[in-house]
Structure 1
């Protein structure tokens, strides 16, 4: 009789009685003989299975295939030359060998215009066909499509931030119970000196891991799993004075310490000798601050930096005398000069770093800087309080490198109130690679997106991970993390921006937080030195704020290959914004204007001799004598860049 037992799952199972095996003639067989015969049978079965198997080849992956609207004639003759609809693409894929159509997702909301392709016959052109194929087959299909087919990998999605996710923000739902190992990573700087307080992160494997180097420069990381080959990324982030490092698929050892040598910021050609020898950041040079006369230093203008404070221990920031610790006002409102995060100090340095013989040159080193400390822990109510301080102090320009999860009616009312008092608010667009965050999305602020430039940072630094796909001939690109949308007014350098951090050091940081201060600094120069803002024709008022924003927008030149949703009007030009003569009579970026829906040369044709004399788009904002309306102003307003809000025009 069989015995009934319970499995681990609690289900009844039958097991045979433990009776000796017998041969065909009824004689008893030993266990060894049975095992030997069983082994022989298993080997024979395995050999038969191998013979029936299939050779290992490249696995088919899911790809998305969709029609494009480009006319076939522009791409030569091919079997795909006629405009295609979604159903035609599906039929063609079904007819091709080694391609398995998995699904067809048609979106009926979008149809091609009448007379342009199959939509005029009632065939939906929007949608995708999902098909399995090898990478080689996908490449052949893309080539055969001759520009009329979209062929791209159906990527796996993860819940990740657009920037490199910090491991200490990643949590596992269940404790890890598998094997673990310790990995040692030593970080050294100039001359092999150990670098303390460097954040080291490993990605890949069972779980990410992070550690900070000690006084000996060694970080001890817990590797979840026993194989270092599972690590897909190594991120080394120094606190100050060195470039970061990001290594994909690093070759790491568990048997001996791994060594990473970081490059000092001052070794980079554009920063040679910094800080003993004064340097100008690449962003300021891109906006042509280096061509602005030395006497343009922002004297007489008040700028507020609402951020994490500003460390006046820094030799570039020790000229700052005024501030307000909003979050600590009930205890000591004078502690605005303690910056535990370094963020506010970095922004303040871009705007107004002062010592021309040491460190980094800011845009407006003689502007009167007010620091409103709001972080860590700031809330909307405290931002309203900070803006009230700005109104009371007669601040001209406010830098807000901050954002919230959703709009606030109360804050919006205060922003409007500040504008009514002549306070111009300039805000970062946000770093979530999504819609512009609030308050950058407010129609009453100037929203700044972030761009970078190839060649302004080491290619093995983490800054290289921010490069978008829209690099132009000059190397400009939109930062992958930068928020976008019709609310973006202008863009500014926000990748590998070197500026001041506590206590008396420098760091290269990324973010729209770094882009906004570039525009704030230029705004201070415009208010201080552009004649029309010095006349009684523009007293402190909302009209003055809008005029300032208009000058900044219309001084901008298109950069990168992106549309206005990502760069707004483009990168502001200090010479044009200040109404100064432009060295090059023929601006190279005028030819790029066609990408914005504006015919190349339109500005020169519309503005007449002024544009040919080198004033460029500056004529569109009244670069003539103070108080006059330049002839090009009306022309520029008749041709707004598509998708941009008028914002009070």
Structure 2
């Protein structure tokens, strides 16, 4: 997340917002409307009312949200010239994945022992049945206390070449986090027997009874008819098991039709809501269903190519657009940082328009992060089911107390607090990955879409609420449905909220 700290001479990004809402309209004085319309993206700076040079990065509408670069002094000057406009820092939010092992300090070439190249090869299965696994993140720690080591991603042959101290007889800790096709695994005191090391991971079977399937065994083709669900994320697909009814890119700087997923996170999220078997069935894929396979799935990509995190301007625009497109439930598996008026206003707009925003509570084991902490959002925490993963899978590291009904436990990583409204499974969750693949992820990012899909089921069966006028009373009725159907797992309310989404 970025903020506007620093010296008065440093330029930072800000959002320039109309006095109220998403466009100047009748609430802005003529000079404010004129200024907003002057602020158009260009290669060079634009001269504003008082001669303040402003570089306009992006624009949502001619008299709507603008993303600009300014110094602190220029912000003050601009605000003085147009006191009706709101200028807030640009913030960035990350996908709500569970934390993984990371290298804090890379191995130095100047260390006492010389370095040697070791090829790490990742496979699913062993021996003659071993298949190379690309796109797998490998983390090798040579000093676990200091976090010293190397990391990288396997190539198409499932290999990653790393430079390690030549006198190292064993690796203190190695972790493998596959994007698809296998379960994650960690090894301690792994012996080095030469210039090559083979790492075998438990292969993924989409028919495996993970935490979600154990808690919701009735997932199938009949749920969610008539409900529109928005996935505001890294994009969706392509995946033959995910028919997207409408897709948009709302980054404000990329083509609107560039909404497909470059990361994998958004596709995984979408599959938990609306996944259905591929047309040809695939290998075992016929067993995979999301929680509400009949919903109309909308994809809103807010993560810009090459950028760390999604801008609050993109998220704000995605929420606005999803509401205008008629979505009933908006899923935001992202977060981080303090409250943000630009996004809060968009969440309020959704609530006033008969829609609800379900938001991942966060994954650092602390207080509920923003935007889940917004009073009008529905914060979703993560639970798991004991031993709902293959032996040796690294998923086990997320299990811990408290324990509840159905062999459930509260995920170690999940944030908690009075803002939590619901909980859902988010540990060792199987779902779709771009390219007609399937993978395992952990996080409140996974719990949130499960809860969204389950709520879509309930809403589809509640015709009176589904077809009610789109106003704040409709939103409240949807929230009432969610609370009434939730199941108490016997955990503290600050962890489970009203209970397991049902």
What TM-score range do you get, normalising by the shorter chain? Answer: 0.7 to 0.9
The equivalent residue for 1:516 is 448
1:566-645 → structure 2 map (5 Å cutoff): 566-573=495-502
Higher relative contact order (CA 8 A, sep 6+): 2
CA distance in 2, matches of 1:320, 1:215: 29
The equivalent residue for 1:374 is 302
What's the CA shift for 1:449? 0.3
Q: Which of 159, 163, 185 lines up with 2:99 in the alignment?
A: 163
The equivalent residue for 2:263 is 341
Q: 1:464 to 1:381 in 2, by over 3 A?
A: same
The equivalent residue for 1:121 is none
The equivalent residue for 1:257 is 196
- Structure 2 counterpart SS, 1:346: helix
1:517-596 → structure 2 map (5 Å cutoff): 517-534=449-466, 538-559=468-489, 562-573=491-502
Q: CA contact under 8 A between 1:399 and 1:426: conserved in structure 2?
A: yes
Q: 1:175 to 1:303 in 2, by over 3 A?
A: same
What's the CA shift for 1:422? 0.6
Aligned length: 389
1:27-66 → structure 2 map (5 Å cutoff): none
Q: Which of 240, 244, 258 lines up with 1:315 in the alignment?
A: 240
- Structure 2 counterpart SS, 1:372: strand
CA distance in 1, matches of 2:107, 2:173: 23
CA distance in 2, matches of 1:424, 1:374: 18
What's the CA shift for 1:310? 0.6
CA distance in 1, matches of 2:287, 2:406: 27
Q: CA contact under 8 A between 1:186 and 1:258: conserved in structure 2?
A: yes
- Structure 1 counterpart SS, 2:334: coil
Please identify which structure carries the higher strand content.
2
What's the CA shift for 1:330? 5.0
Q: CA contact under 8 A between 2:210 and 2:388: conserved in structure 1?
A: no
- Structure 2 counterpart SS, 1:187: strand
Cα-to-partner distance string for 1:356-402 (whole Å, 9 max, x where unaligned): 85252012222111111001442111111111102211211100001
Q: Does 1:489 align with 2:415?
A: no
CA distance in 1, matches of 2:455, 2:463: 13
Q: CA contact under 8 A between 2:181 and 2:204: conserved in structure 1?
A: yes
CA distance in 2, matches of 1:381, 1:393: 18
Q: Which ranges of structure 1 fall in alignment gaps of 5 or more residues? A: 1-160, 272-279, 574-649
Q: Which of 160, 170, 178 lines up with 2:112 in the alignment?
A: 178
Q: Does 1:326 align with 2:238?
A: no
Q: 1:472 to 1:495 in 2, by over 3 A?
A: same
What's the CA shift for 1:213? 2.9
What's the CA shift for 1:529? 1.2
Mean CA deviation greater in 363-372 or 432-441: 363-372
Q: 1:195 to 1:315 in 2, by over 3 A?
A: same
Q: Does 1:301 align with 2:227?
A: yes
Q: Which ranges of structure 2 fall in alignment gaps of 5 or more residues? A: 1-96
The equivalent residue for 2:293 is 365
Cα-to-partner distance string for 1:480-513 (whole Å, 9 max, x where unaligned): 1111111111110101111101111000100100
CA distance in 2, matches of 1:196, 1:346: 18
Q: 1:182 to 1:256 in 2, by over 3 A?
A: closer
Please identify which structure carries the higher helix content.
1
The equivalent residue for 1:212 is 153
- Structure 2 counterpart SS, 1:390: helix
- Structure 2 counterpart SS, 1:448: strand
CA distance in 2, matches of 1:551, 1:185: 51
Q: CA contact under 8 A between 2:98 and 2:444: conserved in structure 1?
A: no
- Structure 1 counterpart SS, 2:395: helix
Mark the structure with the bigger radius of gyration. 1
Q: CA contact under 8 A between 2:210 and 2:428: conserved in structure 1?
A: no
The equivalent residue for 2:277 is 355
Q: CA contact under 8 A between 1:450 and 1:491: conserved in structure 2?
A: yes
What's the CA shift for 1:414? 1.8
- Structure 2 counterpart SS, 1:251: strand
What's the CA shift for 1:174? 8.1
Q: CA contact under 8 A between 1:178 and 1:225: conserved in structure 2?
A: no
Q: 1:196 to 1:382 in 2, by over 3 A?
A: closer
Q: 1:386 to 1:473 in 2, by over 3 A?
A: closer
Cα-to-partner distance string for 1:290-313 (whole Å, 9 max, x where unaligned): 4x8x54x222211111001111x3
- Structure 1 counterpart SS, 2:175: strand
- Structure 1 counterpart SS, 2:176: strand
The equivalent residue for 1:194 is 132
The equivalent residue for 1:581 is none
What's the CA shift for 1:226? 2.5
| Structure 1 vs Structure 2 CA RMSD | 2.5
